[in-house]
Amino acid sequence: MNRQTGFSRRLLLGAGGVALLSSCARARTSGDALPSRAEPGPTGSHPPAGTPPRHLAEPLSAVRGTAPPAEQPEYSVDAGPMTLALTFDDGPGPRYTAQVLAILRRYGVTATFFMIGENVEKYSDVLRQVLAEGHHVGNHTWSHPDLGKRSDAQVRTEIERTSEIIAAAGRVRPPSLFRAPYGYFTRASFDVCADLGLRPVSWSVDPRDWSNPGADAIVDTVLSRACTGSIVLEHDGCLIDGPIEPGGPADRSQTVAALADYLPRLIHNGYRFTALGPQS
């Protein structure tokens, strides 16, 4: 769910996008022949039974940062030529997260999932599956609010509470990545990120999959805009309870279908994939 949120954010997005233009031009490939699928990759493995909850020894106080607050989020990833990052927001979800994981597993791709605290509370088993398969997890606030409409204290609670439940439910360290809802980072959010040792991360390719534009439209946007250093934004969950209706706000079937289509094409064209930051 990514609406435009004001002039200041557009300036930041513009600044981040300009930095990618030269690398995009160099990274594009000339081949148009695309395969129906790529070779499957390795699957992840679950941690052994009885693994101690490491978060108990590493509370938020153990990961507090010392760096000054960031001035803007990261819009790209520097992991070498023809390498980009896939990210999924608003999960974990009871239906589509598993489908996304299955596709990533098929092609041996590692991604980053920015999770909502309320969904982690409901679907902690899905969080653990994401981690067990080697993917990275970031903080996406507790309730997905517009942070510009929250007090400094409320912003801190939204972020701290989410880091705490990700660590507790996943039996891992608190996350090291943060993405603001709608990409709207505020001064208060940068301050909290600095205090908690969180890297603010945005994106550079947005196919607006949350609006259900059709799987083909999602595929076209990703294939035409992704390049070296891109951070691609998609959604595997939604902060909405109740039935999932086709085309409704919690329907991520188009995202799943598009991922299954464009991922082998990118692999065929020589792209590699990296997750953002260390695993929680």
Catalytic residues: 89, 235
Report the candidate in 59, 128, 122, 64 with the shortest Cα–Cα distance to residue 94: 122
Tokens of 270: 């020589």
Backbone angles phi, psi at 226, to 5 degrees: -70, 140
**Chain CA centroid to CA 223, Å:** 18
Distance of CA 10 to the CA centre of its chain: 20
Could you give the residue ranges of the DSSP H alpha helices within 140-183? 152-170
Residue 224, SS3? helix
CA–CA distance, 16 with 166 (Å, rounded to integer): 28
Beta-bridged to residue 231, according to DSSP, are: 85
Cβ contact 266:106 at 8 Å = no
What's the CA gap between 249 and 232, in Å, rounded? Answer: 20
Query: Among residues 137, 155, 135, 134, which one has the least CA distance to residue 146?
Result: 155
Which tokens hold the place of 77?
A: 């990833």
